[in-house]
Amino acid sequence: MTVVGTGHWSPAGAVCYRRVARGRIRDMNVVVCVKQIPDPADPGELDPNTKTLKRDVKLILDESDSYGVEMALQLVDNAGGGEVTLVSMAPNSEVGGLRTALAMGAAKAVLVSDDALAGSDSLGTAKVLAKAIERAGEADLIITATESSDGYTGTVPEQIAELMGLPSITFAKEISVEGGTVKVQRQTEAGYDDVEAPTPAVVSVTAGVVEPRYPSFKGIMAAKSKPVDEVTVADLGIDAGSVGWAGAGQEIVEIAAAEEREAGTIVEDDGEGFQKIVDYLAELKVI
Amino acid sequence: MTVSKIWVFAEAADGNVSSTTLEMLAKATELADTVECVTAAGADVAGELGAHGAAKVYTVGGTDGKLLGPAVSGAIAAAVEAGNAPDAILLATSYSGRDVAGRLSVKLDAPVITNIVDLAESDGSLVGTEPVFGGTTNVLTRFTGDKVGIFLVRPKSFTPAENPSGAAAPTEDLAAGDLGGTAAATITNRFVEEQSGPSLDDAAVVVSGGRGLGESEKFQMIEDLAKALGGAPGASRAIVDAGWVPYSYQVGQTGKVVKPTVYIAAGISGATQHLVGMKGSKNIIAINKDAEAPIFSVADLGIVGDVHKVLPALLEALQNR
Ligand SMILES: Cc1cc2nc3c(=O)[nH]c(=O)nc-3n(C[C@H](O)[C@H](O)[C@H](O)COP(=O)(O)OP(=O)(O)OC[C@H]3O[C@@H](n4cnc5c(N)ncnc54)[C@H](O)[C@@H]3O)c2cc1C
Ligand SMILES: Nc1ncnc2c1ncn2[C@@H]1O[C@H](COP(=O)(O)O)[C@@H](O)[C@H]1O
C-alpha cells in the first residue's frame, strides 16, 4: 500500500504490498491539475474596462497545487513505477508554474493556451481541463487542489469529475492507493472521514498536508527539457463558444469598494496593556 | 418585484439543520415568493425547515455512507428536467455544498456564482455580491442565461429568522436517476475530533493565535484565555499548517468565517485571507508587537506589545476577578 499525506507515509507498507499482495510492481499514473497564477504577494487589480483581473505579470505555480504535485510524486515513488503528468490552462503560453512542478519531478505537461479562453468561468475551465486530462493519457488518479488561491471557487474538481463521469473525493488530507482502490482521509466539519473509491477517480487535496519538496538544481535543469504539449481549444475538440466570455453565462454588473471598518484605539503596551483589554471586555459586558 | 421560486440545499448533522442553511432560508424567504428545500438529511428536518420558511422539503434518499455530490445533484437535475425548476438554488460554501454545486453545474450546463456574501433582486433576477482582494472590493454578478442560477453562499452572510414560526413543511421524495460510476465513493469510517466548550461557529468570544506565539506550546495561553472568557479558540493558517492545532481551528478564507461579539487576535499579522474570516466580528481586539501589522486596521482596541507579556497578565487579571 502506498500512503501519502499528513505525517505518515509508509515505505515499509509499500514494499510489503508489492511482494505479498500483488507479487509485482504496478505502474501508477497520476495527472495533477496545476493552476498558474500571478504571485499572490504582488496582488493584481481589476481592469475597470474589461472587469477582469489584469494579468500582465509572470505566472507562478499556485502554492495550493504544490501539495497535489508532492502527493502525486510520493504515490508514484511508493508504487515503484509510473509518472506524474501536469495539466494546466493558462494564457500566453505561460509555463513558469509548470516548470516549477516539472523541476519537482513531474514527467511531462499538457498546457492549454488560447485567446478564446479569456474570461472562462469555473465550468468553462473544467470543460477544458477534462479534455486535456484525457489527452494526457490513462490515469489512475486525477489530483487537484481543493481551491485555487486566486479564484477559490472550489467547484472545478467536482466539475471535472462529473464531465468525465468519474467518482470523486474532495478535501483529502491523506491518500493511498491499493489495487484499484483509492483511500482518502477526507476532512469534515467535525474531524475526518475515511472514504474510498475505485480508480480512476478525482481527488482534491487540502493545503498544508504534505511538505512540497524544493526543486533541486538537477531537477531545475532537467525540467527545461521535459516535454510540454501545448494545445489550443480546437486541438481538444472544444467549441470555442462554450468556453471563455461566450460560455460564461454570467456578467458583472458592478464593482464597488466595500465598507471599511474604522480603526479604533491603538495603544503601546507599557505593562498595563492587559488592563485596557480587561476594561474593554467589562464595557462590552463580556466579563 | 420578487423572484418566483428559490431552492435551498439544506444540510444537517445528527438531525440538526446547519446554521448556514437557516441563514440562507432567511434571505431566500425575503427574496422569493416560494422557498423550498432539498435535503439528504431525511424527512425529520422538515419541521425545522418549515419553521424557517420552507414551503416544501424534497428528500433525496440512498445517500447513506455516500458523499452527497452525485445523488443530490442528480435528483435536482432530474427535477429540473421534469419541468420543476426553481429560478435559483442556494448552497452553502461547505464540504457538501460545493460538491453538489460542481456536479449540478455540469448536469445543467449552468455556471456557478461562488463566495456570495449578499444577494439582492434587481429587475427580477438575483445579483450576488462576492468580496475580492481580502474584502476591500465587492463584485456584483448575475446570470445572463435562462438556466437555474446556482449560488454558493458563504457562512454567516445572513441572520437566521429570530422567531421561526412556519408550519412543518410537507415532504416529497426526489429520485436521483442513474448516476453511473460517479457515486462510487463510499465512507467507511468517521472520526470526530473531541471538542469542549462552544464551537467556533457559535461562540460569543473567539480568541485566535498566530505565528507570533512563537512555539506550539504557547497556544495553551490561547486555550486558557478562551476558556476564561467562555469562548472558543481559533488560529491563523500559519500555525494550522505548522501542525500546532487542527484545521478545524482555522479562521479565514479557507477556514471558518466567524462573527462573534468579541474577536481577540494574538500574534496574528492580519493577512487579507485571515481578515475575510473575522472582519465581521462586532468588536476586535488585537495584540501584536508590530505597530504596522495590518490587523490593527480592523481592530477596535489594539495593543502594540508582546503576547508573552500581555496574555499572561490578562489571564491573571481575569482569574482574579
Ligand atoms: C489561498 C490562501 C488561503 C489562505 N487562507 C487563510 C485562512 O483561511 N486563514 C488564515 O489565517 N490565513 C490564510 N492564508 C495565509 C495568510 O496569507 C497568512 O500567511 C497567515 O494568515 C499568516 O498567519 P499569521 O498571522 O499567524 O503569521 P504571520 O503573518 O507570520 O504573522 C505573525 C505576526 O505575529 C507578530 N508577532 C511576532 N512575535 C510576536 C510577539 N512576541 N508578540 C506579539 N506579536 C508578535 C508579528 O509582528 C506578525 O504580525 C491563506 C493564504 C492563501 C494564499
Ligand atoms: N486554469 C487551471 N489550470 C489547471 N488547474 C486548474 C485551473 N483552474 C483550476 N484548476 C484546478 O482546480 C482547483 C480548484 O480551482 P477553483 O475551483 O478555481 O478554486 C485548482 O486548485 C487547480 O488544481
Q: What is the pLDDT of residues A158-180, one digit of tens each?
A: 999 999 999 999 999 999 999 89
pLDDT at res. A208: 80
Q: Check A273 against B300: CB less than 8 A apart.
A: no
Q: Over the stretch A215-229, which tens digit does the pLDDT of each residue have?
A: 999 999 999 999 999
Inter-chain contact B261–A207, Cβ cutoff 8 Å? no
The residue from B152, B184, B216 where one domain ends is: B184
Asked if B258 and B176 sit in the same domain, the reply is: no
- A242-251 pLDDT tens trace: 899 888 889 9
User: Does B37 lie in the same domain as B107?
Assistant: yes
Residue whose C-alpha cell reads 427580477 in the numeric block: B124
Q: What is the arithmetic mean of pLDDT over A72-82?
A: 96
On chain A, the residues whose CB falls within 8 A of the CB of B187 are 193-195
Residue of minimum CA distance from atom 47 in ligand 1: B290
Contact A208 B241 (CB under 8 A): yes
Q: Is the CB of B234 under 6 A from ligand 1?
A: no
Each residue's pLDDT tens digit, A95-126 = 999 999 999 999 999 999 999 999 899 999 99
pLDDT at position B27 is 98
User: Model confidence at A17, in pLDDT bands (50, 70, 90)?
Assistant: very low
Residue A137 pLDDT grade (very low, low, confident, very high; cuts 50, 70, 90):
very high
Report the pLDDT value the prediction gives residue B247, as an integer from 0 to 100: 85
| % of chain B beyond a pLDDT of 90 | 87
Last residue of a domain, one of B115, B149, B184: B184
Q: What percent of chain A has pLDDT over 90?
A: 73
Count of CA atoms in the C-beta half-sphere (13 A) of B302: 24
pLDDT at B206: 98
Contact in structure between A74 and A212 (CB atoms under 8 Å): no
- Asked if the structure places residue B26 within a domain, the reply is yes
Q: Of A244, A230, A239, A252, give the one whose Cα is nearest residue A115.
A: A244
Residue that the C-alpha cell 498595563 belongs to? A272
Q: What is the pLDDT of residue B274?
A: 95
Annotate B99-155 with DSSP letters as a single string: HHHHHHHHHTT--EEEEESEEEEETTEEEEEEEETTTTEEEEEEE-SSSPEEEEE-T
Q: Are residues B84 and B115 in the same domain?
A: yes
Any idea which ligand is nearest the CA of A36?
Answer: 2
Quick check: is B194 in a domain?
A: no
Beta strands in chain B (DSSP E): 3-10, 12-13, 16-17, 32-39, 56-59, 88-92, 112-116, 118-122, 125-132, 137-143, 149-153, 171-173, 186-192, 205-209, 232-235, 262-266, 283-288, 301-304
Structural domain total, chain B: 2
Q: What is the mean pLDDT of chain B?
A: 95
User: For residue A237, is it left (φ>0), alpha (ψ between -120 and 50) or beta?
Assistant: left
Q: Phi/psi at A225 (nearest 5 deg)?
A: -110, 10
Please give, rounded to a whole number of angstroms, the shortest distance from the CA of A143 to a CA of chain B: 15
Within 8 A of B284 by CB-CB distance, chain A residues are 261, 264
Does ligand 1 lie within 6 Å of residue B206's CB atom?
A: no
Mutate which of A250, A255, A278 to disrupt the B interface (most B C-beta within 10 Å)? A250
Give the C-alpha separation, A64 to A66, whole Å: 6
Q: A-chain residues within 8 Å CB-CB of B93?
A: 154
Q: Residue A4 pLDDT more than 80?
A: no
Residue A249: C-alpha distances to residues A71, A244, A246, B143 (Å):
35, 10, 7, 6
pTM over 0.95: no
B295 CA distance to ligand 1 middle (Å): 10
Kindly indicate the confidence band of residue A9, based on its pLDDT and cuts at 50, 70 and 90: very low
Question: Rounded CA gap, B174 and B79, in Å?
Answer: 7
Distance, CA B236 to ligand 1 centroid (Å)? 6
Q: How high does pLDDT run on average in chain A?
A: 88
Q: Is the pLDDT of residue B60 over 80?
A: yes
Q: Please tell me the number of the ligand nearest to residue B238's CA.
A: 1
What pLDDT, in 10s, does the model give residues B74-100? Answer: 999 999 999 999 999 999 999 999 999
Q: Which residues in chain B have Cβ-Cβ distances shorter than 8 Å to A206?
A: 247
Report whether pLDDT(B154) > 60.
yes
Read off the CATH number of the domain in which B221 is found: 3.40.50.1220
pLDDT of residue A246: 82
* A1: pLDDT strictly greater than 70: no
A135 - beta bridge partners? none
Q: What is the pLDDT of residues B176-202, one digit of tens each?
A: 989 999 999 999 999 988 777 888 988
With CA atoms as reference, the chain A residue closest to B193 would be: A191
B226 lies in the same domain as B166:
no
pLDDT of residue A12: 33
B110 and B53 within one domain: yes
**Res B33: pLDDT:** 96
Identify the pLDDT of residue A262.
78
- Over residues B102-109, the mean pLDDT reads 98
- pLDDT tens, residue by residue, B158-180: 999 999 999 999 999 999 989 99
The residues near B220 (Cβ < 8 Å, ≥ 6 apart) are: none
What are the backbone dihedrals phi and psi of residue B54, each rounded to the nearest 5 degrees, phi first?
-75, 130
Provide the sign of the torsion angle of the four alpha carbons B51, B52, B56, B59, taken in this order.
negative
Asked if the structure places residue B73 within a domain, the reply is: yes
Is residue B70 located within the same domain as residue B138? yes
pLDDT at A102: 98
As a whole number, mean pLDDT of residues A196-223 equals: 95
State whether the beta carbon of B209 lies less than 6 angstroms from ligand 1.
no
Strand order in the sheet with B137-143: A250-257, B137-143, B125-132, B118-122
Same domain flag for B96 and B172: yes
Which three three-digit cell numbers place residue B49? 425547515
pLDDT at A25: 55
Identify whether B251 is part of a domain. yes
Say what the pLDDT of residue B193 is: 81
CA–CA–CA angle B160, B165, B169 (5° rounding)? 95
Separation CA A163–CA A236 (nearest Å):
14
Range of the domain at B170: 3-184
Q: Are residues B223 and B166 in the same domain?
A: no
Probe ligand 1: pick from B236, B240, B298, B303, max atoms within 8 Å of CB?
Answer: B236
Q: Tell me, what CATH number does B126's domain have?
A: 3.40.50.620
pLDDT on residue B1? 58
Distance (Å) from CA B291 to ligand 1 centroid? 15
Asked if residue B269 has its Cβ within 6 Å of ligand 1, the reply is yes
Note whether residue B275 is domain-resident: yes
E strand or H helix that includes residue A110: strand A108-112
DSSP string, A205-227: E-TTSS-PPPPPHHHHHHHTTS-
Asked if B220 and B175 sit in the same domain, the reply is: no
Q: Which ligand is nearest to the CA of A145?
A: 2
Indicate whether B176 and B212 sit together in one domain: no
Mutate to test the pocket of ligand 2, among A67, A113, A144, A162 (most ligand atoms within 8 A of CB): A144
| Secondary structure (3-state) at B192 | strand
Q: What is the pLDDT of residue A53?
A: 66
Could you tell me which residue, B6 or B135, shows the higher pLDDT? B6
Is residue B195 included in any domain, yes or no? Answer: no
Instruction: Select from B138, B155, B184 the last residue of a domain.
Output: B184
Residues in chain A: 287
Q: What pLDDT score does A7 carry?
A: 37
pLDDT at A68 over 90: yes
Confidence of residue B208 (pLDDT cuts 50, 70, 90): very high
A183 min Cα distance to partner chain B (Å) = 9
Asked whether residue B293 is domain-assigned, the answer is: yes
| B247/A206 CB distance under 8 A | yes
**Looking at the domain assignment, is residue B63 inside a domain?**
yes
B13-27 pLDDT, tens per residue? Answer: 989 999 999 999 999
Together in a domain, B209 and B171: no
Q: Which residues line ligand 2 (CB under 6 A)?
A: A 33-35, 62, 64-65, 88-89, 122, 125, 129, 144-145, 147-148, 151-157
User: Helix, strand, or coil here: B23?
Assistant: helix
Please report the number of interchain residue pairs, chain A to chain B, with beta-carbon separation below 8 angstroms: 267
pLDDT-based confidence at A144, cuts 50/70/90? very high
Same domain assignment for residues B130 and B279: no
